[in-house]
Amino acid sequence: MNTRINFQTILGEDGKPVFVVVPYNEFRRMSGAFTPGTIPHAVVSAVVDGATPLAAWREYLRVTQAEVAARMGISQAAYAQMEAAKRPRKATLAKIAAALGLDVEQLAF
Q: Which domains can be identified in the chain, with CATH numbers?
A: 1-33 (no CATH), 41-107 (1.10.260.40)
pLDDT of residue 59: 95
pLDDT of residue 1: 45
Single pTM value for the model: 0.69
Q: Which residues of 20-59 are buried (b: 16+ CB within 10 A; e: fewer)?
A: eeeeeeeeeeeeeebeeeebbeebeebbeeebbbbbbbbe
Instruction: Give the whole-angstrom CA distance, residue 9 versus residue 1.
Output: 23
pLDDT digits (tens, 9 = 90+) for 48-83: 999 999 999 999 999 999 999 999 999 999 999 999
**pLDDT-wise least confident of 3-7, 13-17, 19-23, 56-60:** 3-7
pLDDT digits (tens, 9 = 90+) for 26-54: 776 665 666 777 899 999 999 999 999 99
